[in-house]
Amino acid sequence: MSLSTEDWTAIWLTIRLCSYTTLTLMVIATPLAWWLASGRSTFRNAVQAVVALPLVLPPTVLGFYLLIALGPRGFIGGTLEDMGLHHLAFTFEGILIGSILYSLPFAVQPLEQAFSNLGRRPIEVAASLGAGAIDRFISVILPMTKSGFIVAMTLTFAHTMGEFGVILMVGGNIPGVTHVLSTTIYGYTEGMQYAAAGRLSLMLLIFAFIVLFVVHWFNRGFGMIKP
């Protein structure tokens, strides 16, 4: 399978975007999922709805609002411009923010389900033995919910790799900056270069199969993504 320099650039940019999105979401999703799994706040249902919103919201809608917010006249982009910095529309940082928001439920929901299945008993036993919060997380929570973390990371990485609408709206299709695999395939198809589009599509198809195999392998015991 022969790939062009442009293809390899898009592949490495996609891997970079997926890796940054996954690592960032693990940091954000872990405490959020724990709070959703164990909290009894009146705002819990509202937060769950917000987290699941990308599952039912068209990506172009989310991409449109992000484009406005991150652009030179938006709240975030305009503030950066006033500070002498560049706005985030049509930048790698912009599509990273879009990917984090759009992949949020794929990180939070598996972790929330894993924490719910764990229950409070193991944590309470560890606390009664004098284990601190960090020790409880490393010694009890993490080992007993590792399947949930693996599923969350795998789904987040894979979902980010397949993103198109949000990426195109927020980042456009700038080579070396926002030109990821999904937009590369779109560009090839639009230019009727079907052989090149087919090669990259086959790569993503094989990757998707491997991801689903891994998810089903580790997902024996708790439910998955739900809107």
What is the structure's pLDDT at 122?
Answer: 76
Ranking 113-117, 131-135, 153-157 by mean pLDDT, the lowest is 131-135
What is the structure's pLDDT at 220?
Answer: 61
What is the structure's pLDDT at 76?
Answer: 94
Chain CA centroid to CA 197, Å: 24
What is the structure's pLDDT at 222?
Answer: 46
Average the pLDDT over 84-96 and give the result. Answer: 94
What is the structure's pLDDT at 29?
Answer: 96
pTM: 0.88
88 phi/psi in degrees, rounded to 5: -105, 0
Would the pLDDT of 145 be above 80?
yes
What is the structure's pLDDT at 207?
Answer: 87
Ranking 90-94, 109-113, 151-155, 211-215 by mean pLDDT, the lowest is 211-215
Six token digits for residue 3: 């790939």
Percent of the chain with pLDDT over 90: 59
Would the pLDDT of 118 be above 60?
yes
Provide the sign of the torsion angle of the four alpha carbons 127, 130, 134, 136, taken in this order.
Answer: negative
Would the pLDDT of 54 be above 80?
yes
What is the structure's pLDDT at 178?
Answer: 92
What is the structure's pLDDT at 40?
Answer: 74
Mean of pLDDT over the chain: 87
Q: Which domains are delineated in the chain?
A: 5-218 (1.10.3720.10)
